[in-house]
Each structure stands twice: as structure tokens, then as C-alpha cells.
Amino acid sequence: MSLPPYAPTSTRAPSQARFQGSHINLDEPVSLYNTSQQRETQESLAELYSIITVLDIVEKAYVKDTLNSGDKDEYTPMVLRLLAQYNTLLKNSEVQQVFGSLDQFKKRYVLNVPRATSRIEIGVPATVEHAVNMPALSSNSTGTGTGGAGVGTTSGTGGSTGLGGPGGSARAVAEATGNFITVMDALKLNYRAKDQLHPLLSDVMTSVNKVSSKEFEGRARIIEWLIKLNKMNVYDELNDDDTRQLLFDLDNAYKGFYTMLE
């Protein structure tokens, strides 16, 4: 006895009546947007998709150590640029509303990007998070501008031995000092929002890593603040207690940084 076919053909012809009242032109392409604003939003979502995908590829290559020698020096600025582009796109309220959360976006477009997810949540490259030594500038260089002024201000703390510390050129130490002073001054000037403070803290850790990859007292707390700020919405602000605590932790890390150089 033969088995019936898996999907027998229907013996009923489709009724044309149901299509007679339809005004849809099946030959006309479907547009994703009707206005310029909708077009801008769709293009921004496409950019976000690309950024997340590329970031995951870069993180995977970094973890597996498959980056070329030249690309390894580009890892940190590349990730910083991708994270900045990601955050800039999400500052648009229309894009943010359609994007939702990162988890919602990944689920909607079936994205499996665990490394990019982790890096976006932390908000800084792995080289900053884990104190990997950054390429330092020439030891013959001298600090100028804001950084140079910072070194002059704190010469009593760091002293001449601080500038000759492990892996730290005069210019690299000056840059780190200037960045510490900048973010502390920003807090004293009532900077509270994520988009104001996160880039400044990121600059601190990036410049510190150019001096030395050694751990020092207070460094871990700055990383914790970076992660906390990154999890906030763009326009969220720190309250007075958090601001006071962050200023205290920065001052503690600043002293620990110079102690490490001695």
C-alpha cells in the first residue's frame, strides 16, 4: 500500500474575488520610509547594525591575537571610534526610540554578538580596562599646553623622579596629569551628565596606560565609574553623593598614579 503524498495539491482553485477589491500594486516596490526623517532613522539603524557587527569582529580578533602587528596599535583608537559613533547615533531621540535597548535590537535582527555586547556595556577598549601598555611617546618630548601646566602644578607630588617612571615619558605623564585635572575641574564646575563625564574619564585611563600598565591604588575604581556611567542613559546625571564620591576616587587615583611613578 502506497503512502499518501506529504503535501497533497489542493483541488480548489484560488478565488479571485478576494483580490478584486485590493488596491495594492504587487509590481510596486515596498518603501521602508515615507519621509526624510524616517529615512534618516533607517539609515542610522543600519549604521548601528554595522558598528555592532564590526566591533564584535574586532574584539574576536583581539582576543584570539589574530590582529596584524600594525593593527594591534590601531585596536584602541578603532574601538574608541566605534564606541563614540555608537553613542553619537543613539543621541538622536528618534533613533533611540526605534532602537530600544541593545538586547531588543539584537533580538529583532537576530544578532549574536557577545563580545561587542560586553565591550559596549563596559564602554572602553580592553586595553584600557585591563591596563595594557599603550604606545608611549618619545622620552625626549616635553609636556605642553594643558598637560604641561598640569605637571608644573603637581611637581611637588610627582617630582622629577615621577617623569622618569617606568614607561612614562615626560609628555605622556603630562598628558595623564592634564586629563586628571580636567575631569576633576569638570566635576567642580557641575558637570554631571554621562555624555560630559564618560569621555573625560576614558581619556584619563587611555593616557595613564601610555605611561605604564602597572596597577596603582584607585585605578580599579575609575574603571568601575566608567562602567557605571556607560550604563546610564545619555542625559542621565549623577546625584550630589555620586559626584562627591567620584571626585574623592579621582583624587585618590591621582595620588596613586604618582606614587606608582616614584
Both 175 and 107 in one domain: the answer is no
Q: Partners of 193 in the beta sheet?
A: 237
Please tell me the pTM assigned to this model: 0.66
Both 163 and 240 in one domain: the answer is yes
Examine residue 229 and state whether it is found in any structural domain, yes or no: yes
Both 150 and 248 in one domain: the answer is yes
- Mean pLDDT (whole number) for 114-140: 74
Note the Cα 170 to chain centre separation in Å. 28
- Distance CA(42)–CA(48), nearest Å, equals 10
Examine residue 8 and state whether it is found in any structural domain, yes or no: no
Both 228 and 188 in one domain: the answer is yes
The DSSP code sequence of 135-188 is PPPPTT----HHHHHHHHHTHHHHHHHHHTSTT--HHHHHHHHHHHHHHHHHHH
pLDDT at 117: 94
2, pLDDT greater than 70: no
**pLDDT tier at 155, thresholds 50, 70, 90:** very low
Both 149 and 244 in one domain: the answer is yes
Q: Which of 173, 232, 174, 182 is nearest to 202 (CA)?
A: 182
210, pLDDT greater than 60: yes
Examine residue 29 and state whether it is found in any structural domain, yes or no: no
Residues with Cβ < 8 Å from 149, sequence gap 6 or more?
Answer: 178
HSE-up (13 A, CA, CB side) for residue 145: 9
Both 172 and 102 in one domain: the answer is no
**pLDDT tier at 152, thresholds 50, 70, 90:** very low
* Cβ-based neighbour number of residue 12 at 10 Å: 5
Q: Which of 56, 90, 122 represents a domain boundary (last residue)?
A: 122
Residues with Cβ < 8 Å from 42, sequence gap 6 or more?
Answer: 32, 33
**pLDDT tier at 154, thresholds 50, 70, 90:** very low
Both 203 and 97 in one domain: the answer is no
6, pLDDT greater than 50: yes
Q: What is the 3-state secondary structure (H, E, C) of 5-20?
A: CCCCCCCCCCCCHHHH
Q: Which of 91, 122, 153 represents a domain boundary (last residue)?
A: 122
Examine residue 115 and state whether it is found in any structural domain, yes or no: yes
Examine residue 10 and state whether it is found in any structural domain, yes or no: no
Both 97 and 156 in one domain: the answer is no
Both 98 and 154 in one domain: the answer is no
Both 192 and 86 in one domain: the answer is no
**What cell was used for 209?**
596606560
Angle at CA 207, nearest 5°, toward 245 and 150?
A: 75
> Dihedrals φ, ψ of 237, to 5°?
-125, 150
pLDDT at 253: 93
The boundaries of the domain holding residue 157 are 145-261
pLDDT at 230: 86
Both 184 and 105 in one domain: the answer is no
Q: Which of 175, 177, 168 is nearest to 136 (CA)?
A: 168
pLDDT digits (tens, 9 = 90+) for 32-65: 777 888 889 999 999 999 999 999 999 999 988 8
Q: Which residue has the higher pLDDT, 157 or 49?
A: 49
- Distance CA(138)–CA(144), nearest Å, equals 14
Least confident of 10-24, 53-67, 175-189: 10-24
CATH at residue 225: 1.20.120.1130
Both 167 and 102 in one domain: the answer is no
Q: Which of 89, 122, 155 represents a domain boundary (last residue)?
A: 122
How many domains are there within the chain? 2
Examine residue 130 and state whether it is found in any structural domain, yes or no: no
CATH at residue 67: 1.20.1440.200
Q: Which of 63, 120, 48, 91 is nearest to 195 (CA)?
A: 91
The DSSP code sequence of 37-53 is HHHHHHHHHHHHHHHHH
Examine residue 221 and state whether it is found in any structural domain, yes or no: yes
**Contact 120/86 with Cβ under 8 angstroms?**
yes
Examine residue 103 and state whether it is found in any structural domain, yes or no: yes
3-state secondary structure of 67: coil
